[in-house]
Amino acid sequence: MGKKIKPKVKLIISEIIENDVQCISSVLKTIGRLSICELRHFLYKSKWRGSFPDPFKIIYVDPSNVNYYLQRSNNISNYGTYIQDGDWDENYYEGSEQVWNTNPISPTETFSKPTQIKFEDFDMYSSLKKHFQDGVPWKETEYYKKLKSGGNKQQPVHPTSRPTDYFDRLDSLYKSIKKYGCKSQKELLNEGLTDNQKIRILKPELNEICISIGRNGNMMHDGGGEHRLCIAKILDLEKIPVRVIVRHEEWQKYRKKIFDSSRNKTSRLNHPDLQDVI
């Protein structure tokens, strides 16, 4: 009986034994959220048939093609994937001031509707670029100053009470990506490059960089992994692993058109999100 238990199940059991209530609660929440997204995927599959993508599929994109950061006015779960219509991919930030934000799912800047913002307009990206490219000390960057001052008082903006710990981890992340490249979470686990076994042990893909794809195939950051994406852009990496969290319905219709007729050759067939339907 014991030999038949899959390695992932063994890992889950060992984590539960080691961490008791906290781990059990985390695992149960993950299972519940995955069950909800499986129902959503079933409905999508019924409509889109073979053109509906694997919800947890990792695709590789050139980070230089992800030039915008999507801020939403509502929360989007990163469990699975969505297909949405509407104008969420057509609104752009046109302000002259840099935007203060450390988490695109819970923005500290309030927008009344989903808004795309250039990476250059984010103080986080600008600060990381100044630190890693120009050697500016963290304490002299706007990102550090705002974290130190507390940022959004309603929501903690760094994971520890000491910002220096957070920036030390950013330095370590930069060195790791510079040395090994930007690997998928599954690769990191398999190669022993992370000991983060407790984070989403049921689905490593849930911890990937997330993007969304607009009606014309334009890719924008939309979810976790903002630090990895910023660093990949700074290092000018050729490709990084990402997961698509939202596709515009018009883009999904185009995917279906390609899937239904492999003879429909267009200039966009090299798009990374079309390789599974060609």
> What is the amino acid identity at position 258?
I
Residue 258's CB is within 10 A of a number of other CB atoms, namely 21
Q: What is the pLDDT of residues 175-232, one digit of tens each?
A: 999 999 999 998 988 887 776 555 555 678 888 999 999 999 999 999 889 999 999 9
Q: What are phi and psi of 39, to 5 degrees?
A: -65, -45
What residue spans define the domains of the chain?
A: 2-122+197-260
Length in residues, the chain: 278
- Specify the DSSP element, H or E, that contains 14: helix 7-48
Question: What percent of the chain is modeled with pLDDT above 70?
Answer: 73
Mean per-residue pLDDT of the chain: 81
The residues, any chain, with a CB within 8 Å of residue 120's CB and separated by 6 or more, are 126
Q: What is the pLDDT of residues 77-133, one digit of tens each?
A: 888 899 999 999 999 988 877 777 644 434 445 677 899 999 998 888 999 999 999
Residue 219 contacts residue 49 (beta carbons within 8 Å): no
Quick one: pLDDT at residue 267? 57
SS (H, E, C) 112-146: CCCEEEEHHHEHHHHHHHHHHHHCCCHHHCHHHHH
Rounded alpha-carbon distances, angstroms, from residue 182 to 122, 135, 186, 231, 256: 21, 22, 12, 9, 30
pTM of the model as a whole: 0.81
